[in-house]
Amino acid sequence: MKRLLLICMLLSFTAVAMADEVSFEWKGRNKVVQGQQFRLEYVVTGTDKGEMSLPQFKGCTELFRGSSRGTSVNIINGNVSRTITNSIVVTLRADEVGTHNIEPATLVVDGKTYKTKPLTLTVLEGDATDESAAAERGGNRGAAVASGNSSETFTRLVLSRTNVYEQEAILATLKVYTLAPQLNFTKVTLPSFEGFAAQELDVPESNQWDIERYKDRNYKTATLRRVLLFPQRTGDITINGGSCEIEVYEVQGINFFGQPLYDVVSKNVITPSVKVNVKSLPADKPATFTGGVGDFKLTSELSSNTIKANEALTLTVTVQGKGNLQLMQNPVVEFPSEFEAYDPQVNLDIRSSAGGVSGKRVIEYTIIPRYAGTFTIPPIEISYFDINSKSYKTLASSEYVVEVSKGDDAGGTAVSSFHSKDDVRLLNADIRHIKTDSGNLAKHHVAYVASWAYWLWYIIPVVLLIVVAIALRKYAAANADIALNRHRKANKVALRRLKQAGIYLKARDEAHFYEEVLRAVWGYLCDKLTMPLSELSRDNVQSELLRYGVADSLVARFTAVLDRCEFARYAPSQSDDAMDQLYQETLDAIGEMENIIKTKKNNSAI
């Protein structure tokens, strides 16, 4: 009876929510090299009903097609939600060079049709080096962007346009091009953008490597920075290149199994300068020109058309559209002389993207009529330069008629003039005149030279200079010994490579995962044991580990990791658990090796 009651209570506090929203999308790459094999995945989320109808893949040959189904359950605060996923994975080979428009895939569920977004597939021409390397391998010439030991790497500042008008937006994209298998960025320095107003844009965290053909060769590319530029002067403006400090993985030798060994080389890459031709705006500028360049609309609103004297009104002017909203000037409003106007308050609601700046500029004018009567606020006019028509355009608001009645005298009379103190009359009891007398103020003299603060200004910089000098000497001495430096940084470099392997593990990319783990282990042993690349082999590593005082069990664990990685490279399709287990064993082995080294250092210190 108690068990039945407990089950009923659990059911009463648990709600199972089925995912009613159905989504249908494709995942994969949209830019490949001719002859390259790649995958497209069509994923349905929220239902396992219906049949998918896939399109014809123009310019490609379908090699394999497989399907999978899955269900995930989430429990949050007693609420259970279940998500159903159904997917079809298509393996293709890119055959025809060019841009191919792939029709959307369709899914019909209970009479309702769902479609994916269209796919624009770009097939790039393969490099000559790829073709010769593919001939030696026997096929799949587009399997990589480049072959051989090339590690060519450079950066470019790509501008959306180089011939613009003053204040016209330019998208500047800093991109890296490389043939190296892997890069690490340590520092990216943007150009100064002298002569421009610059606004940096966010780069998505999911930014991935792409393929781009540049000067008859295919490179791996990635976006480092994106900046919107607004020219502030006319003529030819040269954007001096920035710089990037990167770590490039270069092939330095072959291991025991015939696989390449990589070494990390630091390089400072300078971005070439770019020239922009900035044209001046036409000379026939209207008197109401506010500096706007783009495409805008103007709206206005008055808080009320009837009001009492000495009460506040708000006139709101909104400039909305696409262009240099943040650099525009406020329009001049001709208020009646009987109105007291305060400085306007400006609120910007803008969105910056690769297409430029869009949004609105809201200007609020606070005005106070001081006398009763009927007054007219003339239309507000602003002029801007329209990029599309290459001409000036003028926008105007409505005219406003304000009826001002006599105000209440209970709280004070109106302020009609502020030219002298005698003319000022109180608006309310909380407004007072500024006092002009000095009051009872006295100077307090302190002998500053005799204070501790005076001497600390001399002592502290001297002490800091000595500390910095000692630290720099120790740093220079440590870096002078290259072998010792590699020994000290071996663990950090290995963990960085294993972090990249963890990314491949989450993506279930077996080939890159096992390759990255193998690089991490061989690189760690080479640096930690200070062995030259020419002597790096399985037998030498085992004997060197034993001579170093490492236990036989740990030597066996390192050997097992190397064997499993090499086996997986030639016999793929390992289970997910095997990949997870190998990743953890590698971390444990390196961690135990670091503990042994720390123990030896402590014993030697004693």
Structural contact between residues 250 and 148, judged by C-beta atoms closer than 8 angstroms:
no
Q: Within this chain, do residues 100 and 154 fall inside the same structural domain, yes or no? A: no
Structural contact between residues 174 and 223, judged by C-beta atoms closer than 8 angstroms:
yes
Question: Which strands sit side by side in the sheet containing 112-115, from one edge to the other?
Answer: 51-53, 106-109, 112-115
Total of domains in the chain? 4
Q: Within this chain, do residues 415 and 514 fall inside the same structural domain, yes or no? A: no
- In the listed set 229, 246, 279, which residue is the last one of a domain according to the structure? 279
Q: Within this chain, do residues 361 and 253 fall inside the same structural domain, yes or no? A: no
For residue 47, being part of any structural domain is answered with yes
pLDDT for 471 equals 86
> pLDDT of 256-281, one tens digit each?
777 777 788 888 899 999 999 999 99
Which residues lie closer than 8 Å to 61 by C-beta, 6 or more apart?
92, 93, 95
pLDDT for 15 equals 37
Tell me the two tokens of residue 75: 């429990």
* C-alpha 48 chain-centroid distance: 35
> pLDDT of 565-580, one tens digit each?
877 766 666 667 778 8
- 136 exposure class (CB count in 10 Å sphere: 0-12, 13-18, 19+): exposed
Mean pLDDT, the chain, rounded, equals 79
pLDDT for 537 equals 75
> pLDDT of 207-247, one tens digit each?
678 888 888 888 889 888 889 999 999 999 999 878 888 88
Q: Within this chain, do residues 86 and 20 fall inside the same structural domain, yes or no? A: yes
In CATH, what number is assigned to the domain containing residue 234?
Answer: 2.60.40
Q: Within this chain, do residues 298 and 357 fall inside the same structural domain, yes or no? A: yes
Handedness of CA 491, 495, 496, 500 (dihedral sign): positive
Domain residue limits at 179: 145-279
For residue 194, being part of any structural domain is answered with yes
> pLDDT of 46-73, one tens digit each?
787 778 888 988 889 888 888 888 777 7
Q: Within this chain, do residues 51 and 94 fall inside the same structural domain, yes or no? A: yes
For residue 452, being part of any structural domain is answered with no
Structural contact between residues 497 and 538, judged by C-beta atoms closer than 8 angstroms:
no
Structural contact between residues 262 and 523, judged by C-beta atoms closer than 8 angstroms:
yes
Write down how long the chain is. Answer: 606
Q: What percent of the chain has pLDDT over 70?
A: 80
505: closest CA among 586, 391, 413? 586
Structural contact between residues 171 and 225, judged by C-beta atoms closer than 8 angstroms:
no
Q: Within this chain, do residues 231 and 319 fall inside the same structural domain, yes or no? A: no
Q: 8 or 605: which carries more pLDDT confidence?
A: 605
Please write down the long-range contacts of 556-561, taking CB distance under 8 Å and 24 or more positions apart. Answer: 557/585, 557/588, 557/589, 558/521, 558/525, 558/589, 560/585, 561/517, 561/521, 561/585, 561/586, 561/589
> 175: number of CA atoms within 13 Å, CB side?
20
* Mean pLDDT confidence for 119-142: 60
For residue 411, being part of any structural domain is answered with yes
83: closest CA among 116, 44, 121? 44
For residue 7, being part of any structural domain is answered with no
For residue 24, being part of any structural domain is answered with yes
For residue 566, being part of any structural domain is answered with yes
213: closest CA among 174, 161, 172, 177? 177
For residue 441, being part of any structural domain is answered with no
> pLDDT of 375-414, one tens digit each?
999 999 999 999 889 999 999 998 999 999 987 753 444 4
Q: DSSP character for 196?
A: E
